[in-house]
Structure 1
């Protein structure tokens, strides 16, 4: 005779019994809502169609984000002393920031916002506890970004 198989529902009941819950107790768990990617909204279908480089780093973008461009843009590395800049936490690497920005660009935590003059998008997201803004050009490539908040994120005093 073959042993009787125990299905997931029965396993759940067995687990509840082992935890000392009565047989007639409510054993339902609240369903966790599935998070959807804001880019999947039909409102962005045309924009996504034009994004040939969606989620890729634009030419020189990571260097600008990390070291600055000499024009007051970027320079958010942890050791930056430029006045008014928000800095990534100490110990953060350039590779980590690039991975966060690519992830946020392609799957932001909130609805993408069109940039002024229709030349791209601004998205936000939190990765490893650090909330960042990522700027995308119209072709979908990442052209900039900066940390907003999170443990270890600091802002240099103004000049």
Structure 2
């Protein structure tokens, strides 16, 4: 029987978690490859020191109608308040794009991110509104739920 080998990183070198997580690799978009919406519309709203969540509502012609912003609480979690949903849904939107940042630099979604995304998708679907994607921004790029086939 052959023993399994373990690969250790050299001392002082930070391991690349994306290389070990095929889901993250499949959904990751490097910063230099981001489209205009990600780069120009969303990224400027994310500070490096705290988590922010954005809900972007678009009409049937893919024009931005409304942008709702939720600040993180003391534990860093962003909560979508009923007022945010009312403001967004009262604007006659056809699609929603969710986005938030991870100041930690970890680009892949947490279990809470996955649950929140699925719940939002189901909620919006009952109103005949499509959740087109949920993006998680870090300094080096962003993770896309759509690209990773999680939506």
Taking structure 1 as the reference length, the TM-score comes to 0.27
Taking structure 2 as the reference length, the TM-score comes to 0.29
Structure 1 or 2, whichever has the larger Rg, is: 1
Higher strand fraction (1 or 2): 2
Higher relative CO (CA 8 A, sep ≥ 6), structure 1 or 2?
2
